[in-house]
Amino acid sequence: MNKKSAYTVAVVGATGVVGTEMLSILEERKFPVGQLLPLASSRSAGGEVTFRGDAVKIKLLTKDSFQGVDIALFSAGGNVSKEYAPVAVKAGAVVIDNSSVWRMDPQVPLVVPEVNPHDIEKHQGIIANPNCSTIQMVVALKPLHDHATITRIVVSTYQSVSGTGKDAMDELAEQCRQLLSFGDIKPKVYPHQIAFNCLPHIDDFLPSGYTKEEMKMVNETRKIMGDESIGIAATTVRVPVFVCHGESINIETEKKLSVEEARTILSTAPGVQLHDDPSMGVYPLQIDAAGTDAVFVGRIREDDSIPKGLSLWVVADNLRKGAALNAVQIAEELVK
Amino acid sequence: MNKKSAYTVAVVGATGVVGTEMLSILEERKFPVGQLLPLASSRSAGGEVTFRGDAVKIKLLTKDSFQGVDIALFSAGGNVSKEYAPVAVKAGAVVIDNSSVWRMDPQVPLVVPEVNPHDIEKHQGIIANPNCSTIQMVVALKPLHDHATITRIVVSTYQSVSGTGKDAMDELAEQCRQLLSFGDIKPKVYPHQIAFNCLPHIDDFLPSGYTKEEMKMVNETRKIMGDESIGIAATTVRVPVFVCHGESINIETEKKLSVEEARTILSTAPGVQLHDDPSMGVYPLQIDAAGTDAVFVGRIREDDSIPKGLSLWVVADNLRKGAALNAVQIAEELVK
């Protein structure tokens, strides 16, 4: 991308939970935004968002929206990305897309800046932002993979409802209120009650019995780490938490890694914050990670059920590092 | 135990969450109780419990409590079990103990009636009831182990607060109420907020970095399955759910097991109920398992990260099958 002092940045889906985070992160990190162009469907167009203290009109997303746009951050669902990302590219924008539709396209780099920043160079207009649960896992695991070569990952997730969107957050709050006052509830966003319940079901089921979310963790991790040989078994579970995803991760490595070695590696790893002093009650927690940028890693311990194994617990803000922050970091790499 | 038409049954800790379940399960399953003797500390003694429609006085637990008692069900914590179980045995009772203090004693059988009922015969007065998270795992895995020999288990749990007791259930409800009305909370039972948060911390931490809860799953599973060679890596996590534990389990077997074979085996396995039709939204859920007796198994799928692996999701009521029901089932075996 040609170096400029300021860029015209479109945010598609500017009023969603991720879009809102994108705006505040662009502002927080002083991204060189010349003009901001918030785009949305007819439901939100005409309204306003606040950016650097100014009210900015939300425009209706159309095929003509991208003239003069340098960077378009998309977070309005797969269908919108499928239809409008090529339009934006044709108009000369670089698209950073938060949906899943372009991620596994061989022409499209799938990037976590701490892990594979150089893949950005290969872009042909679209750069994909990985799935939230994948991003935090690879930030934690890539440094260990570089030192010891991970051969297998078994991961179980504890994912918050904000990954589904604002309606899901409202549904969790409302179901809790109802159930705590002995009222009845009727699930709308999720197929079953989410308050005080865990759902081993995120995204659609595939014929194999896995969900699409689980297969995202498998396929995207391999693509980002650049290693198709890593075996990955994922179970993704929605838990009654508003923000941040937790992950219980077990890895098998080619070279033996001790707990101390893993801690040393992770203590200087980009994007990682070590929260690992269990005897003092210090381990990654969703309530602590909310609103922050780091991927928190703790509960690192040797797994003696295999000769070379480690277990760890990883938490990050799924709206920030898992989505909006990672997208803005890609934009930062792009304009470097 | 000598066959009788009715037995004098003491319930130590009769007013706790598990003790209360024990009374209702003894009644539900028509256990041949001649006389019921609810025992408790001075905090509850003098009060009453209802059993088969009658009010029964709660007596103070003392060293003289067990004269004439045939079976003593203990669920009043480790210290009480340590002190009073030997007293009860000396007085002629058989103790079925729900605490962890006797479980790994080589003299004490650790029993899940669906898995190792014959171990009961070896008892010398005390029979231990395993940890809640262990019980539901072995009920689901033993039939698969018998067919295909499990060599390794990786498990991550989603455990409800009722495993901690009534105070923890109150704390979850109260924290939710406060947070939903933007109030402040102050954790008392747990070291951190439990509402809308997951705690990767159950029971105390050991120098290895594992918790005692995690090591219970390792050691108790091996003892109950009668196979010290099974490798087990456990991560135990408290989730903001009132009742029932969920478990994401990944197994490696010596003999290849297909999903269909596993389903066939589990469809007739004692204590197991298969809830495995994900395309219809059918998988084990904590809200469905609450108040029921079965161990629910679903989301069975082949793990292609290893040549012979399966993943499954297992849910059971931790107060019933995970504690009170299993104890009463042991008593039933004892008087058979």
pLDDT mean over B240-268: 98
Element (H, E) at B134: helix B132-148
B307 touches chain A (CB under 8 A): no
A190 touches chain B (CB under 8 A): no
Given an 8 Å threshold on Cβ–Cβ distance, is A313 in contact with B158? no
pLDDT at B151: 98
Amino acid, res. A106:
P
Taking the whole predicted model, whether its pTM rises above 0.95 is answered as yes
pLDDT at B2: 83
pLDDT digits (tens, 9 = 90+) for A308-335: 999 999 999 999 999 999 999 999 999 9
pLDDT mean over A188-212: 97
Close Cβ partners of A106 (under 8 Å, ≥ 6 residues apart)? none
Of B233, B246, B283, which is closest to A309 when you measure between CB atoms?
A: B233
pLDDT at B327: 98
From the candidates A176, A248, A285, A311, which should be mutated to test the interface with B, based on the most B CB atoms within 10 A? A248
What confidence category does residue B270 fall into, taking pLDDT thresholds of 50, 70 and 90? very high
Q: Which domains does chain B have, with CATH numbers?
A: 7-129+323-335 (3.40.50.720), 134-318 (3.30.360.10)
pLDDT mean over B203-226: 97
From the candidates B156, B175, B190, B296, which should be mutated to test the interface with A, based on the most A CB atoms within 10 A? B156
B239 touches chain A (CB under 8 A): yes
Residue A2 has pLDDT above 90, yes or no: no
pLDDT mean over A165-170: 96
Given an 8 Å threshold on Cβ–Cβ distance, is B196 in contact with A233? no
A196 touches chain B (CB under 8 A): yes
pLDDT mean over B97-124: 98
pLDDT digits (tens, 9 = 90+) for B279-313: 999 999 999 999 999 999 999 999 999 999 999 99
pLDDT mean over A196-203: 98
pLDDT mean over B238-253: 98
User: Please, which residues 258-287 of chain A have a Cβ atom closer than 8 Å to chain B?
Assistant: 259, 278-279, 281, 283-287
Residue A1 has pLDDT above 90, yes or no: no
As separate numbers, helices (DSSP H) first and strands (DSSP E) second, chain B gives 8, 14
CA distance A193 to B143: 31
pLDDT mean over B102-129: 98
pLDDT mean over A204-223: 98
Point out the catalytic residue in the list B123, B145, B244, B245: B245
pLDDT digits (tens, 9 = 90+) for A54-106: 999 999 999 999 999 999 999 999 999 999 999 999 999 999 999 999 999 99
A122 touches chain B (CB under 8 A): no
Give A60 to chain B, closest Cα distance, Å: 34
Residue B110 has pLDDT above 90, yes or no: yes
B252 touches chain A (CB under 8 A): no
Q: Is B132 a catalytic residue?
A: yes
Three state DSSP letters for chain A: CCCCCCEEEEEECCCCHHHHHHHHHHHHCCCCEEEEEEEECCCCCCCEEEECCEEEECEECCCCCCCCCCEEEECCCHHHHHHHHHHHHHCCCEEEECCCCCCCCCCCCECCCCCCHHHHHHCCCEEECCCHHHHHHHHHHHHHHHHHCEEEEEEEEEECHHHCCHHHHHHHHHHHHHHHCCCCCCCCCCCCCCCCCCECCCCCECCCCCEHHHHHHHHHHHHHHCCCCCEEEEECCECCCCCCEEEEEEEEECCCCCHHHHHHHHHCCCCEEECCEHHHCECCCHHHHCCCCCEEEEEEEECCCCCCEEEEEEEECCCHHHHHHHHHHHHHHHHC
Rounded to the nearest integer, the mean pLDDT of chain A is: 97
pLDDT digits (tens, 9 = 90+) for A4-14: 999 999 999 99
pLDDT at B298: 98
B56 touches chain A (CB under 8 A): no
pLDDT digits (tens, 9 = 90+) for B1-26: 888 999 999 999 999 999 999 999 99
Amino acid, res. B35:
Q
Of A197, A240, A298, which is closest to B196 when you measure between CB atoms?
A: A240
